[in-house]
């Protein structure tokens, strides 16, 4: 039998061991610092905390009607009724809904695309446009590990996060000209020319985020030609097809030009903006390949990348998209509704510019109506934006990006007056 002293020593040792273990366990995450706040979500938080009855939020990148309310499209409601009568909660395949993918490819590549007929496109359903970009970034890293990606300045901030976390080195190329508040086409072309042959470039297909500045059709043709000369790979992020101009065919023009010129391309599609399916996270990643055999191989690898990430994509949003795009009546209704959204944004651009000009602003506001899509890159400085927030309770990101979806007939005059007040002495 052990002595009392031995038992006591054992208890003390076990106590010390437990204490060391407890300290060790409690310190596992002690080196974790709070992540910096997302600048866009931070704007919304500040807006919600402001008790002012005059407050205006032009920071959020989601469509609102002229009363400032979220919108559920009627075509989506009709699709929901169809789904309700045929509920199916089974898993989708790793690659997602084949019907949704089929309809998405028609939208991006054309209803009668030869590439679809020849089965040359590898495509999978993705978690909206963000997921499509991330899948492609991981695919790029896995199969071309020494490659890098050229990203425009500026771009949607999450693009940098996506390729960074996929461990793909990033370079940048000129895009926006702050003096003209338009496209810096000469510098853009020079950067494309200087990039090593066979480089990857991220391109916004339409309604560039955050600037709203798109190349003209002729400029897209010149860009495509230079890409051909340099053997660059274009990856298009198309988050606003239909939402930009009100015409999905027009908004896909850049992609069609590159296809006509014989490029192999990648494309990320999202249905957040053009169908209002923000919370459904439904999109599509497609890669045009040399032939059907290559497309089969590429799709299989995309599915393998998706498998450990999220196994397979959600079914509900995919059902909504596939029902709308495959039903002629619902698709026709969607085309009308997406044009209504686009036209409201265009109308608010005109109203904002007119109000600023009526106030006798010494600045040119042509860029407000020259730009397209959800966002207006106003040209205001961070200090001017701070004044808008502190003095007028108007919330936007400090780079001066205005979400035109937050502008209404009820607040456009107030917004214009405030902008004039902080910019008139610039």
Active site residues: 156, 237, 273
Please tell me the total number of residues recorded for the chain in this structure: 426
Tokens 């920071």 belong to which residue? 59
Burial of 164-187, coded b for 16+ CB within 10 Å and e otherwise, reads eebebeeeebbbbbeeebbbbbee
Q: Cα–Cα distance between 289 and 302 in angstroms, integer?
A: 13
Omega prior to 259 cis, within 30 of 0: no
**Distances in Å between the alpha carbon of 267 and those of 30, 91, 202, 233, 237?**
41, 25, 10, 11, 6
Percent helix, strand and coil across the chain, each to the nearest 5: 50, 10, 35
Structure tokens at 336: 């009308």
**What is the three-class DSSP state of 229?**
helix
| Range 309-314, long-range pairs (CB < 8 A, 24+ positions) | 309/134, 309/135, 310/127, 311/91, 311/94, 312/91, 312/92, 312/93, 312/94, 312/96, 313/92, 313/96, 313/97, 313/125, 313/126, 313/127, 313/131, 313/282, 314/92, 314/127, 314/280, 314/281, 314/282
Closest CA to 269 of 116, 80, 124, 152: 124
In this structure, what token pair is assigned to residue 350?
Answer: 């005109």
Residue 72 C-beta-side C-alpha neighbours within 13 Å: 8
């Amino acid at each position: 039998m052990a002595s009392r002293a031995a038992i006591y020593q054992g208890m003390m040792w076990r106590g010390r061991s437990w204490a060391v273990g407890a300290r060790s366990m409690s310190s596992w995450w002690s080196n974790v610092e709070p992540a910096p706040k997302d600048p866009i979500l931070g704007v919304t938080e500040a807006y919600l905390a402001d008790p002012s009855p005059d407050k205006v939020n032009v920071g959020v990148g989601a469509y609102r009607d002229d009363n400032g309310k979220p919108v559920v499209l009627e075509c989506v409601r009709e699709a929901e009724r169809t789904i309700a009568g045929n509920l199916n909660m089974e898993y989708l395949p790793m690659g997602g809904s084949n019907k949704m993918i089929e309809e998405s490819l028609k939208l991006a590549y054309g209803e009668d695309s030869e590439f679809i007929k020849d089965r040359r496109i590898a495509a999978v359903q993705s978690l909206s446009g963000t997921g499509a970009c991330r899948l492609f970034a991981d695919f790029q890293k896995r199969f071309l590990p020494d490659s890098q990606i050229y990203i425009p300045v500026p771009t949607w901030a999450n693009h940098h996060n996506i390729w960074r976390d996929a461990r793909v080195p990033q370079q940048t190329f000129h895009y926006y000209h702050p003096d003209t508040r338009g496209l810096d086409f000469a510098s853009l072309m020079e950067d494309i020319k200087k990039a090593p042959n066979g480089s990857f470039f991220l391109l916004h297909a339409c309604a560039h985020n955050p600037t709203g500045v798109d190349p003209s059709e002729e400029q897209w043709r010149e860009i495509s030609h230079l890409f051909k000369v340099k053997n660059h790979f274009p990856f298009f992020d198309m988050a606003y097809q239909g939402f930009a101009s009100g015409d999905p065919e027009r908004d896909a023009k850049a992609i069609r030009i590159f296809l006509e010129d014989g490029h192999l391309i990648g494309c990320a599609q999202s249905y957040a903006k053009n169908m209002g399916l923000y919370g459904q996270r439904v999109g599509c990643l497609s890669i045009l390949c040399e032939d059907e055999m290559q497309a089969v191989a590429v799709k299989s690898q995309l599915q393998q990348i998706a498998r450990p990430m999220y196994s397979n994509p959600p079914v509900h949003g995919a059902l909504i998209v596939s029902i709308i795009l495959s039903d002629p009546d619902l698709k026709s209704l969607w085309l009308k509704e997406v044009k209504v959204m686009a036209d409201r944004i265009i109308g608010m651009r005109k109203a904002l510019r007119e109000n600023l000009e009526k106030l006798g602003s010494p600045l040119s506001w042509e860029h407000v109506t020259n730009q397209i899509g959800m966002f207006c890159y106003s040209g205001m400085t961070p200090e001017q934006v701070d004044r808008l927030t502190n003095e007028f309770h108007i919330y936007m990101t400090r780079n001066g990006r205005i979400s035109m979806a937050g502008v209404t007939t009820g607040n456009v005059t107030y917004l214009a007056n405030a902008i004039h007040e902080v910019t008139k002495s610039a």
